[in-house]
Amino acid sequence: MAWPPGKTNQLQVLKRSSKTSRTRVNKNGRSLSELWLEVTSLSKRFEQSEIARTAAEKRAQRLEGQVEELKSENRALRDKRSGTEEILQKEIWGQKLQIADLTEKLEKAEKLLVWFRNTKFNRTSEKGIDPKPAEPVSQPKDDAKKPNDKASNNSSEPKKNRGQQPGSKGHGRSDRSELDTRIEYLDIPGGCACGKCGKAYKLLNRTEASPLTEFEAEIVRKIFQRCMYVSQCTCEGKRIRVADPPPKLYPRTEIGNSLWVWLLVQKFLHGMPTNRALKELSLYGMSLAHGTVTGGCQIINDLLEPLMEELINHCRGADLWNADETTWRVFGEGKQRWWLWLIASDDAVVYLLDPSRSKRVPSEFFAGSVGTLMTDRLASYKALQESIRKAWCAVHLRRDFFNVFKGIPKLKLWAKDWLTEIGTLFALNHKRFCLWKKEQTSGPDWDTAEQELRSHVEKLKERWEEELKQPNLHKEQAKILKSMQRHWAGYTLFLEDPRIPLHNNRAERLLRNAVVLRKNSYGSGAEWAGHLAAKMFSIFQTWLINGLDPQALLLDYFNECSKTPGKPPPDVSQFLPWSMSEERKQKYALPESYERPG
């Protein structure tokens, strides 16, 4: 066995020490063999320890290698764990975004569901907002106000029954003296005599009146026998002359003007489809073909054109309008869904039928006009020229808050508070409007009403500005508040002119007649029929808002057309309310019992 240099030196020292020890042992009497055995034993033990140390070093090296392997595995696991955590974090973040998106969609769906239920199944009135407090919302303290005392008190009061209240003074019997009256006498059948002796009673000079209002309708077929004359002289030979035929709306028709008026009034004023009107005529024994009515309506459409043009031109010349639009079906055309536009001034109402809902329709109508337009926030109206100032309907703004109030519980208190503020705005504006209507535009009452109204508007502006600065606004809150910011100038335009209303209810009411007919007849069967509907709506509603009887005036217009059958009259000014004489207005005035539209 070869010893390393360091080991050899140690062995030599050991041997020298052993020789010295051997000598000592010899001196001490110990045997040499015993010393040698001890040295040999120590050498073996030393060699074994060296082997063990070498093995330990090798084992330590292996362990160090294993430690390095474990460290690398640990690093790999940590890296993998870090990547997994990152992936999981991304997945969690994605799930949170998905949950937020689904929550938003759910809120919108609940809002839509509430709107659908209220529209289709509930009362249309928005009175009686639930005064119960909703969930607290993480908004400013001002947004978490309790319901006002007035609402609470009203909710505790017993609800009154509909109709006349017990103990109240009635209005008595209705006065029907304006109706044509016929007097009929009723006698006792068999006469009147004493039941014992049989002596007849004396008839008194007075009677007891029992009024009864009846409805009598009849269809009369008039046959005009036209007189014929033959000449008796020889000046021009034998000649036969026949009296002129009766006036007709257009040649060869056998339908009189009064029947045409009845058909048009039933359809375009009362919303009765043509088929139902013809069925009603059949109950009176008259059979009238649908095709005959259709052909006549095509001619009537052309006869009404000059009157319609005058209405449009007059409406354009106003300086304050209401506008709205609704769908109108036109069957038999490439595009069935058309749009019926309404534009109403103070004394004229115009309906326009167009396949588009774009800005082209209002832009063409208002070209060259100057004034203020009250309407909703449709983009088509926003694109109008600057000469048309846009006043936005505050009812649509209120509806935004009302939908949130009904559809998003956690924003209920916030929406309720805004609804209360908007209600106060309507009340203050109505107070000022009443003073303006009475021409009391000066004095302390007017100054107080004006100051209260402007202060409240400024308060509303400060509020939505502050709320827009808040972080973490709900998406619906931010949407409504940003819309208020964009449209604020139009919402407050009424401050400059008391004539400008806060709402567009007038336009929506004027559309009701057309909507009723659309629901009953689905629309028009052709484009010309749709334009006829727009003309009839325009003419009837214009006459009505001016207090004129549309049935009587249309008959007079048709009688004027009958002077030149198939052609409109050369001058239609006598049928326009703004150029009609006062005597003619009195002649064709609406009965007091008829409710004016709009």
Q: Domain for residue 569, yes or no?
A: yes
Decide if 325 contacts 312 (C-beta within 8 A): no
Burial class (CB within 10 angstroms; exposed 0-12, middle 13-18, buried 19+) of 417: buried
Q: Domain for residue 160, yes or no?
A: no
Give the pairing of strands 371-375 and 388-392: parallel
- The residue segments making up the domain with residue 339 are 305-587
Written as six digits, the tokens of 21 are 């020890």
Q: Which one, of 227, 347, 250, 237, lies nearest residue 296 by Cα?
A: 250
Q: Domain for residue 233, yes or no?
A: no
Q: E strands of 298-455, at which residues?
A: 320-329, 337-344, 349-354, 371-375, 388-392
Q: Domain for residue 408, yes or no?
A: yes
Written as six digits, the tokens of 218 are 């009849």
Mean pLDDT to the nearest integer, 417-445: 94
Residue 428: C-alpha distances to residues 175, 257, 461 (Å): 38, 51, 16
Q: Domain for residue 425, yes or no?
A: yes
Q: Which one, of 513, 541, 158, lies nearest residue 348 by Cα?
A: 541
| 474-513: pLDDT as tens digits | 999 999 999 999 999 999 999 999 999 999 999 999 999 9
- The last residue of one of the domains, among 39, 54, 69, is 54
Q: Which neighbouring-strand residues pair with 589?
A: 548
Cα distance between residue 277 and residue 289, in whole Å: 11
Q: Domain for residue 241, yes or no?
A: no
Written as six digits, the tokens of 290 are 């649908």
Of all residues in the chain, what percent carry a pLDDT higher than 90?
55
Residue 179: C-alpha distances to residues 259, 400, 428, 596 (Å): 22, 48, 43, 20
Q: Which one, of 568, 505, 510, lies nearest residue 538 by Cα?
A: 510
Residue with tokens 């008190």: 153
- The last residue of one of the domains, among 9, 38, 54, is 54
Decide if 425 contacts 457 (C-beta within 8 A): yes
The pTM of the full predicted model, rounded to 2 decimals, is: 0.75
Cα distance between residue 339 and residue 520, in whole Å: 17
| Number of domains composing the chain | 2
Cβ atoms within 10 Å, residue 329: 15
Say if residue 143's pLDDT is above 60. Answer: no
Backbone angles phi, psi at 213, to 5 degrees: -95, 125
Burial class (CB within 10 angstroms; exposed 0-12, middle 13-18, buried 19+) of 421: middle
Residue 352: CB partners within 8 Å, gap ≥ 6? 340, 341, 343, 361, 365, 534
Written as six digits, the tokens of 330 are 């036109």
- Range among 68-72, 81-85, 96-100, 253-257 rated most confident: 253-257
Residue with tokens 């004359």: 229
Q: Domain for residue 217, yes or no?
A: no
Vertex 138: Cα angle to 135 and 142 (nearest 5):
90
Report CA torsion sign: 194, 198, 199, 201: positive
Decide if 425 contacts 449 (C-beta within 8 A): no
| 242-290: pLDDT as tens digits | 998 899 999 989 999 999 999 999 999 999 999 999 999 999 999 999 9
- Range among 126-130, 131-135, 496-500 rated most confident: 496-500
Q: Domain for residue 295, yes or no?
A: no
Cα distance between residue 403 and residue 106, in whole Å: 14
Say if residue 208's pLDDT is above 80. Answer: yes
- The last residue of one of the domains, among 11, 33, 54, is 54
Say if residue 233's pLDDT is above 50. Answer: yes
